[in-house]
Structure 1
Amino acid sequence: MSDLHDLCKFAQRPVAAKAVEELQFYLKSGIPATYTIEEAYNYTHNIEDEPLTTTTPLHLICTHVPQDIDEAESKVVESMVEMLLEYGAGWCLTDVNNETPGCILIRRGLKRLPIYNQIVAAGIRAELLLRKVSEYDMEVISDTEEVDHERFGDEVPQLVEDKEPLVTAAPKIEKDDAPDAPSQNQESYLQTKLEYRDNALVTKDRQDGVMMSWETDLMRLGCDSLFKGSVVDGEVDSDINVLNIGFGMGIIDTMINEKNPTKHYICEAHPDVLKKLRDDGWYEKPNVVILEGRWQDQLDTLLSSGNTFFNGIYYDTYSEHYLDMLELFDFVVGLLKPHGVFSFFNGLGADRQVIYEVYKQLVEIDLSNYGLECKFTEIEVPKSTLEEKVGSEDSKSVWDDIKRSYWSCPVYYHPEARFIDV
């Protein structure tokens, strides 16, 4: 097994085509593409627990691919990565440093390499395949069955120094990630008390960031996009209707209302936010229509009525996931005017850049299936969002009073979707 891991460390230069043949031999011999150095370590030390971290061959390739790799060597490495992915290598497994293979390439400044795009493409395929599997309630059989150590045992090396043993305890589910956490479960979120601050809306007890003022520039982009849908053949539509799903701090809704559309619809479900809307006088604004409740119910009513259509639709909710957005797309195509624009706060996977880019391409694919073309504008996010939370008086991080950051990407991909034939 040491040969497999050493092969992925590129100790010999140049990286030759023989490496592909050797890798194929190991994989065809039954060694899983996800077999890790931690599993090898546990075997050599007679540790029966499953390791907590997963440093796979793909992690090793991304860690050791030469900075000065030439074109011929790059082709070899691409073939190795392709083969590992074909044999089930995990594109988003994390290692002892909580890094995916793509994260390692980004940290090393090697995002330009073709293998980075291979990893992103693998993420897209995995997401699309997972949806199909879920549709038919199929059981997925893992490809990480036990390695035949009787056959390969003599080759398993001591991979980690004894003075720093690997953590082998079973991973615990953090409350932040539990299925019933407010950030993961909408029913739980709607029952959670919220608190408005000067620069944020947070869950009162947990201090989860629901919305924050650093998003203001991103909201302005969204507002501007919505009103692009009010122009028809160079002329302004006589009846401009705009829908925003998720009021939050009211940042984008304030911007929308300043543009004085014919009708400004706001869909909001959380009782504390609805109270904020009432206290701030939104119910009394003559051109504002408040839709109280979940958008799944409210938009269904609008669609059934058949007499309300929008120049712009914006979506920005909390505790919902991408599968919820896929359901939203059904309503968007039914409620959007032919020249209208759909946009949303694009925080999909934004706590990890490689996943953020996977979702960017997924959105393009999925919206195209609905007859919508999505184009993205890249803008830099405020530097304060990239500062780690330290909690000191001189800290410049926006996350200091927030439970944890929900953003770590240097660039924001602002989406703007229109019907393809417009």
Structure 2
Amino acid sequence: MTDLHDLCKFTKRPLTEEYVDNLKYYLKNGIPSTYTVEEAYNFENGKEDEETTSNTTPLHLICRHIPEDCTEEEIAIASKMVEILLEYGAGWCLVDSDENTPGCILIKRNLKKLPIYTQIVQAGVRAELLLRKVEEIEFVDEEDYLHDVEVNGEEVPELVEESSEVVEKSVEEPQPVEESVEESVEKPVEQPVEAIDPYANDPATNQETYLKTKLEYKDGALVTKENKDGVMMEWESELMRMGSDSLFKGVPEDAEEKKEDDMVVLNIGFGMGIIDTMIQNKKPTKHYICEAHPDVLAKLKRDGWYEKPNVVILEGRWQEQLTKLLSDGNVFFNGIYYDTYSEHYSDMLDLFDFVVGLLKPHGVFSFFNGLGADRQVVYEVYKELVEMDLNNYGLDCKFTEYEVPKETMQAPNNPQPESVWDDIKRSYWSCPVYYHPEARFMEY
């Protein structure tokens, strides 16, 4: 334990500017803001070479030890300390020996209302936006773009400007060539896909794998047959009702326009058909359903959805199906709902392009909001990100809070009968509150 760690345990009251000054002193003199208690212990005991399995950082200690009876002045001091730590690179989502992030500790202590919790969430938002920008950067391959030229009698590398010819070559498909016996002997053994990407065969994280994975409808749930991963479950019914109600709010305000407006809705991802059944009960003019998984499409056929006169089934991934609708330019929706499996937030960002092109001016966009829902602080980071990203598309997103059933809070494989995760290998929800989203075009 270092003096920095002791400082963040708040052993002396009241908390004054002295705490802030001491923190600045330690950080400016080279102690990392992410220096952990475990690393300090290993150093003190001559075990520097041993890897630590947990990360109890100064930020964890502040969240764990900030007094519950802090005065406003003391809260301001703690807030300054958190701000400084974050400026020096403290990790907002690192987990300690109990698998808790700093934000998780505050939640468990019922201190979520403190400003330092909001600071941690905002740090998560900034980190996500920064990561997104970094991923957009294209790095120059030194071997491809440097060649030697002579300057003042010495060879130096010069950056070669990429010509249109180079660009064209880069996108050409390789031409087939005859391979000699000698060349075939020297060919390296191809690495299996999973060696390159460990998630390639995980249906929960890889859409291509998921679409090839057998599913089954069992005990009020849709699960992957082999892994028993939960794809959709009956406990979501109230969330689906909220989603269905939102879609039917996408009507004109003017009474005459409202009478003339056909109610056309789109649901992306049929799953168990919970929301689609609710939509049908409201008798829309047209009800589009986009679904890609063959086992789910088979259920749609078995249950007679193809025969319903107001239903249009779009077979395939939404990326291809919505491209066709957008190209045709003949269909626009009062409501669009999105609830797929094994897709990521980057996919949702791509979807927003289609939403603004297919949604009527008075329409509503909603989705199953499970982004980061395995940890509450991460869930709230994504709530902020969604609102921010939709704003960039000219959509104003409002959230309604809903307290989820208590049985969803049990751990996976919990033997207690009230747990919805019994016999489910991987749960996809662990937050006490659901943030239901409704997005509409902004009024200017």
TM over 0.5: yes
Is the Cα–Cα contact under 8 Å of residues 374 and 416 in structure 1 kept in the other structure?
yes
In structure 2, do the counterparts of structure 1 residues 351 and 391 end up closer, same or farther at CA, with 3 Å as the change threshold?
A: closer
In structure 2, runs of 5+ residues without a counterpart are: 141-193
Instruction: Please state whether the residue corresponding to 1:373 is helix, strand or coil.
Output: strand
Are residues 390 and 184 of structure 1, via their aligned partners in 2, closer, same or farther at CA, if it must alter by over 3 Å?
Answer: closer
2:17 alignment counterpart: 17
What is the alpha-carbon distance in structure 2 between the residues aligned to residue 415 and residue 375 of structure 1? Answer: 6
- Once residues 390 and 332 of structure 1 are traced to their aligned partners in structure 2, the CA distance between those partners, rounded to angstroms, is 38
- Preserved contact between residue 230 and residue 236 of structure 1 (Cα < 8 Å): no
Match among 191, 197, 201 for residue 212 of structure 2: 191
**Kindly tell me: are residues 26 and 193 of structure 1, through their superposed partners in 2, closer, same or farther at Cα, counting changes over 3 Å?**
same
Is 1:333 equivalent to 2:353 in the alignment? Answer: no
Shift of 1:230: 2.8
Using a 3 Å threshold, how does the CA distance of structure 1 residues 236 and 382 change in structure 2: closer, same or farther?
farther
Counterpart check, 1:136 vs 2:100: no
Distance 2:322 2:113 in 1: 42
1:209-358 aligned within 5 A:
209-234=230-255, 235-358=258-381
Distance 1:348 1:122 in 2: 17
Report the CA distance between 1:138 and its aligned residue. 6.4
The whole-number CA distance in structure 2 between the counterparts of 1:287 and 1:178 is 39
Secondary structure in structure 1 of the residue aligned to 2:427: coil
> Normalization by structure 2: what TM-score?
0.84
Tell me the residue number matched to 1:181.
202
Partner of 1:169: none
3-state secondary structure, aligned to 1:228 = coil
Who wins on radius of gyration, i.e. which is larger?
2
Greater shift, 129-138 or 190-199, is seen at 129-138
| 1:388 CA drift (Å) | 3.1
Structure-1 residue corresponding to 2:121: 120
Q: What residue is the counterpart of 1:381 in the other structure?
A: 404
1:307-343 Cα shifts (integer Å, max 9, x gaps): 1100000000000111110010000000000000000
Alpha carbons 1:381, 1:412 under 8 Å: kept: yes
Q: Is the contact between residue 231 and residue 237 of structure 1 (CA under 8 Å) also seen in structure 2? A: no
Instruction: Find the aligned partners of 1:371 and 1:200 in 2 and give their Cα distance.
Output: 36
- Distance across 1 between alignment mates of 2:378 and 2:101: 10
| Superposed CA offset, 1:5-34 (max 9, x none) | 000000011111111111111111111111
Q: Greater relative contact order: 1 or 2 (C-alpha under 8 angstroms, separation 6 or more)?
A: 1
Number of residue pairs aligned between Structure 1 and Structure 2: 385
Matched, 1:399 2:421: yes
Match of 2:248, SS?
helix
Percent of aligned positions with the same letter in both sequences? 69
Q: How far 1:200 moved relative to its partner?
A: 0.3
Question: Match for residue 29 of structure 2?
Answer: 29
Q: Please give the alpha-carbon distance, in whole angstroms, between the structure 2 residues aligned to 1:81 and 1:237.
A: 56
Specify the code of the residue in structure 1 equivalent to 2:356.
V
| CA deviation map 1:325-376 (0-9, x unaligned) | 0010000000000000000000111111111111111111100000000001
Contact 2:412 2:425 (C-alpha < 8 Å) held by counterparts: no
What is the Cα deviation at residue 233 of structure 1?
Answer: 1.8
Corresponding residue number in structure 1 for 2:5: 5
User: CA, structure 1 residues 239+123, in 2 after alignment: closer, same or farther (shift >3 Å)?
Assistant: same
**Deviation string, structure 1 residues 113-134 (Cα, Å, up to 9, x no partner):** 1000000110111111111111
- The whole-number CA distance in structure 2 between the counterparts of 1:410 and 1:330 is 31
Q: What is the RMSD of the two structures over their aligned residues, measured on CA atoms?
A: 1.6
Q: Which amino acid aligns with 2:59?
A: L
Q: What is the CA-CA distance between 1:198 and the residue it aligns to?
A: 3.2
Q: 2:200 touches 2:209 (CA, 8 Å); kept in 1?
A: no
Deviations 1:172-229 (A, max 9, x none): x9xxx83541111111111111010131000001000000000000000000000111
Contact 2:413–2:425 (8 Å) recurs in 1: no
In structure 1, the residue matched to 2:175 is none
Which one-letter code corresponds to 2:219 in the other structure?
D
- Measured in 2, the distance between the counterparts of 1:73 and 1:179 equals 49
* Contact 1:230-1:237 within 8 A present in 2 as well: no
Following the alignment from structure 1 to structure 2, what is the Cα–Cα distance between the partners of residues 390 and 259? Answer: 37
Q: 1:46 to 1:138 in 2, by over 3 A?
A: farther
Please give the alpha-carbon distance, in whole angstroms, between the structure 2 residues aligned to 1:134 and 1:50.
Answer: 29
Pairs within 5 Å for 1:145-160: none
Equivalent-residue separation in structure 2 for 1:391 and 1:34 (angstroms): 34
- Whether 1:206 aligns to 2:227 is yes
